[in-house]
C-alpha cells in the first residue's frame, strides 16, 4: 500500500522553532534551491537544480503519444491502511476536512506546475508558462499561459490562482493548508502574472511542496457557493478529467475532457488515454474480488498475500484472460506502521509503547498468514537511503548532540530495530521483556490484568475498517493479553473510521505512506512535528511532541545538497524510532497487480510514481481476444 506522495492537490495521500535549543545553521544557510538561479524565467525547479528535461522538451519519457484513446478503466479503491477513506464517498469537495471525497479527484484540477514522475523532485511549468525567483528567494513570480482554460471554456487568470491559494490557506484541508503556513501573500499582479510571497521562515524547497499540489479553482464558481460545504455538486475544474456519472457511496466515473486545453502541451501529451475512469465502491474486501472474477472490475492491486497465493484459481485466471504481474515499487521512502496514540495518558511512557511492540510476532505472522510475502519494516523511511542504520555518523551526531540530554540514550547507539522472534507466535523471551518494561513503566498485575497506581487498567483498542485485519491482528492481541493488556479489536464503518482518525479518537491504528523522494520540511511537519499533533486531519497520528524532531525538521529546511538531506532524514528517523510512537510492521518491494488482459503500457514504469489510470491504455485487439471488446 502506498499513498503519499501520493496524489497531488487532494487530501494528500504525496509533511518548531530552533530558538533556545542551541542549534543554528548546522546545515548551512538557506537556501537549497540555490542551483535554481534568481532573476530569470525558468521552465522547471528541483531541490538541487537537476532537471532531466530541457526548456524545449516535447514530452515526458514515460508518456505514450502513440497510444490509442478510448475504453473504460474500472477499479476499486484499496482497503489497506489508507489514511483517507476510500470505501465510500459523500462529497465531491475534496479540498476541505468536511465529508469523505472519492479518490482521484485531483485528476480534475490543474496546478501551476507538474511533477515529472521519472525524477525524484523535478517540477515543470503547467498552467504557469515560467517561474522566476526573486533575489531574496522569498517571492516566486509565475507567468500564466494565456491558453489555460477551465472546463467550461472560461480563461484561467491570475485572480483565480490567487483565490485558490488564499482560500486553501484559510479554509482548506489541513493536509493542504499546512504547507502554506509561511505564505504571506498570493497576489495577482496582472491578469496573467501571479506571485507567491513568503515570509522568509519557509524552507527554500517549500515551493516544491505547493506548486503542484494546490489546485487552481475558479473564483467565479465560488462567488455564490460556500467553499467549505460538503456537496455533491462537482467543483469546476481545468484538468484532463471531469466528474461524470456517480452515485454517492457506490461509484464515480471520471470522463476524459476531450477539449482539455493542455492536451498537446509537453507536460500532458501522451497521457490520459481512457475515455472513462470508473471507481466502484464496496463495503467489504470480498465483494470487489468477486466482481473482479466476473470481469466487472478490470484492474486490481492485491494487498492480501493469502489471496495472491491461493485464490487466483478461477476460470478467467486459469485460461489466461486474467494475468498476474509484479511491478517494482517506487524509489521513495515508505512507512507502514501502527500508531500508538500518546495523547492518551496510558501510552505516555515509552517503555509501555516499546512493550506493545514486543508483543507482535512478525516471523510467525509472515509465515502463517502472509505466505512469506513480506519483509519486516524497521524504519519510518523504509526502502530508501533515509533509513538510519548502525550507529550515527559524524554528521548525524553533529545534529543530535545538542539534544543529548533530552533524548533517549538509544538514539546515540545502533538504530532501534524491531525484534526477531523464534517464530512460535508467542516468543517467551520477548514477552518476558515486555512484562519487565511494563513493570518499569508502573504497571502491575491485578486479577490477571495490568493496572497503574490509580487502579486504571491498561487497555488497547485496535481501530480497523475491514474484517481482514481481525485475522492479522488476532495473534498480536492474544500476546498482549498474555502479558496483562486488555486488548480488543474494533471494526467500524468507513465514515466512522475516517471521523475517528481526523479527531484522533483511537488507541492504535495502522497506516501506510509513501513519501516524496526528496522530502521537504513542510511534508515532514505534517507527520512528525509537534504543530501537527493537535490539528485535526493532520498525519501526526501518534500525537508525538518531540522538540528535537521539531528542530531537526527546521534544519531539514536548510539543506543545500542531497548528502545533507540524507543526514537530516536519518537523524529524524533515528529519534522517532527510539520513542516508539510508531511501531513499524512489514512492507513489500513490489506492486502485485492482476488485470483482465486488455491493456497496454510502456516499460519500464516510472521510478517515482505509478498512476496506472493516466499511463496505461485500452488495447482493443487484446480485449477482443478475451471477449471483452
Last residue of a domain, one of 440, 468, 503: 503
Does 441 map to a domain? yes
Is residue 268 a contact partner of residue 262, using CB atoms and an 8 Å limit?
Answer: yes
Q: Do 488 and 564 reside in the same domain of the chain?
A: no
Q: Is 195 a residue whose pLDDT tops 80?
A: yes
Q: What integer pLDDT is reported at residue 85 of this predicted model?
A: 44
Residue 230 within any structural domain of the chain: no
Angstrom distances, CA of residue 364 to CA of 146, 346, 435: 60, 28, 20
Q: What range does the domain containing 457 cover?
A: 344-377+418-503
pLDDT of the residue at 34 = 56
pLDDT at position 336 is 94
Q: Find residue 511's DSSP bridge partners.
A: 337
Residue 45 lies in a domain: no
| Strand partners of residue 406 | none
Nearest to 319 by CA among 629, 612, 627: 627
Surface-to-core class of residue 220, CB atoms within 10 Å of its CB (0-12 exposed, 13-18 middle, 19+ buried): middle
Residues 423 and 411 occupy one common structural domain: no
In a domain, 452, yes or no: yes
Q: What percent of the chain has pLDDT over 90?
A: 79
**Confidence bin at 97 (pLDDT 50/70/90):** confident
Say if residue 353 is in the same domain as residue 480. yes
User: Do 403 and 546 reside in the same domain of the chain?
Assistant: yes
Q: Are residues 467 and 491 in the same domain?
A: yes
Name the pLDDT band for 49 (thresholds 50, 70, 90): confident
Indicate whether 168 pLDDT > 90: yes
Q: What is the mean pLDDT of the chain?
A: 91
Give the span between the Cα atoms of 49 and 325, in whole angstroms.
Answer: 36
Q: Same domain, yes or no, for 527 and 492?
A: no
Among the three residues 465, 482, 503, which one is the final residue of a domain in this structure?
A: 503
Residues 486 and 547 occupy one common structural domain: no
pLDDT of residue 200: 87
* Predicted confidence band of residue 87 (pLDDT cuts 50, 70, 90): confident
CATH of the domain at 17: 3.10.105.10
CB count within 10 Å of CB 230 equals: 15
Same domain, 454 and 580: no
Which residues face 54 on adjacent strands?
A: none
pLDDT digits (tens, 9 = 90+) for 320-344: 999 999 999 999 999 999 999 999 9
**Residue 520 pLDDT grade (very low, low, confident, very high; cuts 50, 70, 90):** confident
Indicate the number of domains in the chain: 2
Is residue 355 domain-resident?
yes
- Tracing cell 471488446 back to the chain, one arrives at 629
Instruction: Report which of residues 129 and 306 the model is more confident about.
Output: 129
Taking the C-alpha atoms of residue 9 and residue 442, their distance in angstroms, rounded to an integer, is 45
In a domain, 137, yes or no: no
Whether residue 293 is contained in a domain is answered as: no
Residues 411 and 460 grouped into a single domain:
no
In 3-state terms, what secondary structure has residue 576?
helix
Residue range 9-41, pLDDT digits in tens:
333 332 222 222 232 233 333 334 556 889 999
Identify which of 565, 399, 527, 515 has the alpha carbon closest to the alpha carbon of residue 33. 565
The three cell numbers of residue 586 are 512489514
Q: Are residues 548 and 433 in the same domain?
A: no
* Residue 82 confidence (pLDDT): 36
245 within a domain of the structure (yes/no):
no
Domain match, 468 and 446 both: yes
The model's confidence at residue 546, banded by pLDDT at 50, 70 and 90, is very high
Q: Which of 503, 532, 558 is the last residue of a domain?
A: 503
pLDDT at 30: 37
% of the chain beyond a pLDDT of 70: 93
Give the length of the chain. Answer: 629
Res 209 pLDDT > 70:
yes
Q: Are residues 450 and 348 in the same domain?
A: yes
Give the number of other CB atoms < 10 A from CB of residue 291: 17
Higher pLDDT pick, 392 / 495:
392
- In 3D space, the residue among 175, 217, 243 whose CA is nearest the CA of residue 6 turns out to be 175
Question: What is the structure's pLDDT at 193?
Answer: 98
Strand partners, 587: 375
CA angle 264, 267, 268 (to 5 degrees): 50
Measure the CA–CA gap between 296 and 255, rounded to whole angstroms.
Answer: 18
Amino acid at each position: 500500500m502506498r499513498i503519499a506522495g501520493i496524489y497531488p492537490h487532494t487530501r494528500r495521500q504525496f509533511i518548531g522553532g530552533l530558538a533556545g535549543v542551541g542549534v543554528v545553521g548546522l546545515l548551512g544557510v538557506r537556501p537549497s534551491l540555490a542551483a535554481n538561479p534568481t532573476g530569470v524565467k525558468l521552465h522547471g525547479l528541483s531541490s538541487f537544480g537537476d532537471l532531466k528535461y530541457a526548456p524545449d522538451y516535447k514530452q515526458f519519457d514515460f508518456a505514450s503519444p502513440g497510444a490509442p484513446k478510448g475504453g473504460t478503466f474500472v477499479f476499486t479503491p484499496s482497503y489497506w491502511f489508507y489514511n483517507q477513506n476510500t470505501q465510500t464517498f459523500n462529497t465531491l469537495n475534496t479540498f476541505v476536512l468536511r465529508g469523505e471525497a472519492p479518490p482521484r479527484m485531483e485528476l480534475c484540477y490543474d496546478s501551476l506546475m507538474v511533477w515529472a514522475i521519472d525524477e525524484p523532485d523535478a517540477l515543470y511549468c503547467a498552467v504557469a508558462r515560467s517561474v522566476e525567483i526573486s533575489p531574496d528567494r522569498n517571492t516566486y513570480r509565475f507567468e500564466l499561459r494565456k491558453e489555460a482554460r477551465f472546463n467550461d471554456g472560461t480563461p484561467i487568470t491570475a485572480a483565480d490562482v490567487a483565490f485558490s491559494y488564499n482560500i486553501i490557506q484559510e479554509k482548506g484541508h489541513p493536509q493542504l493548508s499546512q504547507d502554506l503556513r509561511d505564505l504571506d501573500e498570493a497576489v495577482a499582479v496582472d491578469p496573467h502574472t501571479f506571485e507567491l510571497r513568503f515570509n522568509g521562515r519557509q524552507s527554500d524547497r517549500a515551493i516544491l511542496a505547493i506548486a503542484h499540489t494546490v489546485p487552481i479553482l475558479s473564483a467565479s464558481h465560488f462567488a455564490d457557493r460556500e467553499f467549505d460545504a460538503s456537496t455533491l455538486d462537482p467543483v469546476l475544474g481545468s484538468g484532463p478529467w471531469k466528474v461524470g456519472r456517480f452515485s454517492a457511496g457506490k461509484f464515480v466515473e471520471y470522463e476524459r475532457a476531450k477539449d482539455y486545453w493542455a492536451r498537446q502541451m509537453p507536460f500532458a501529451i501522451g497521457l490520459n488515454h481512457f475515455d472513462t475512469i470508473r471507481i466502484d465502491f464496496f463495503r467489504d474486501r470480498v465483494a470487489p474480488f468477486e466482481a473482479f472474477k466476473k470481469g466487472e472490475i478490470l484492474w486490481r492491486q492485491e494487498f492480501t498475500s493469502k489471496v495472491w497465493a491461493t485464490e487466483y484459481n478461477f476460470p478467467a485466471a486459469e485460461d489466461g484472460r486474467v494475468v498476474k504481474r509484479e511491478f517494482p515499487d517506487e524509489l521513495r521512502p515508505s512507512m507502514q506502521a501502527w500508531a500508538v496514540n500518546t495523547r492518551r495518558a496510558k501510552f505516555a511512557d515509552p517503555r509501555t509503547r516499546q512493550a506493545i511492540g514486543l508483543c507482535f510476532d512478525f516471523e510467525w505472522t509472515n509465515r502463517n498468514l502472509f505466505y512469506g510475502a513480506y519483509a519486516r519494516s524497521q524504519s519510518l523511511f523504509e526502502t530508501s537511503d533515509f533509513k538510519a542504520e548502525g550507529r550515527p555518523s559524524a554528521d548525524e551526531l553533529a545534529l543530535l548532540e545538542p539534544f543529548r540530554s533530552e533524548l533517549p540514550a538509544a538514539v546515540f547507539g545502533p538504530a532501534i530495530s524491531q525484534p526477531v522472534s523464534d517464530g512460535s507466535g508467542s516468543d517467551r523471551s520477548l514477552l518476558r521483556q515486555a512484562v519487565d518494561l511494563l513493570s518499569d513503566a508502573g504497571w502491575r498485575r491485578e486479577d490477571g490484568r495490568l493496572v497503574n497506581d490509580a487502579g486504571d487498567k491498561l487497555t488497547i483498542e485496535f481501530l480497523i475498517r475491514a474484517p481482514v485485519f481481525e485475522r492479522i491482528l488476532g495473534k498480536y492481541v492474544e500476546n498482549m493479553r498474555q502479558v496483562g493488556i486488555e486488548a480488543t479489536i474494533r471494526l467500524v464503518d468507513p465514515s466512522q473510521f475516517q471521523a475517528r482518525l481526523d479527531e484522533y479518537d483511537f488507541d492504535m491504528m495502522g497506516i501506510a505512506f509513501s513519501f516524496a523522494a526528496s522530502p521537504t520540511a513542510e511534508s515532514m511537519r505534517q507527520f512528525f512535528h509537534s504543530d501537527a499533533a493537535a490539528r485535526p486531519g493532520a498525519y501526526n497520528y501518534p500525537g508525538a511532541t518531540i522538540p528535537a524532531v521539531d528542530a531537526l525538521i527546521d534544519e531539514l529546511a536548510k539543506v543545500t545538497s542531497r548528502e545533507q538531506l540524507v543526514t537530516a532524514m536519518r537523524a529524524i528517523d533515528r529519534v522517532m524510532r527510539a520513542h516508539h510512537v510508531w511501531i513499524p510492521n512489514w512492507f513489500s518491494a513490489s506492486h502485485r497487480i492482476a488485470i483482465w488482459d486488455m491493456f497496454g503500457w510502456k516499460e519500464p514504469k516510472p521510478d517515482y510514481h505509478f498512476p496506472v489510470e493516466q499511463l496505461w491504455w485500452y488495447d482493443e485487439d487484446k480485449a477482443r481476444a478475451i471477449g471483452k471488446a
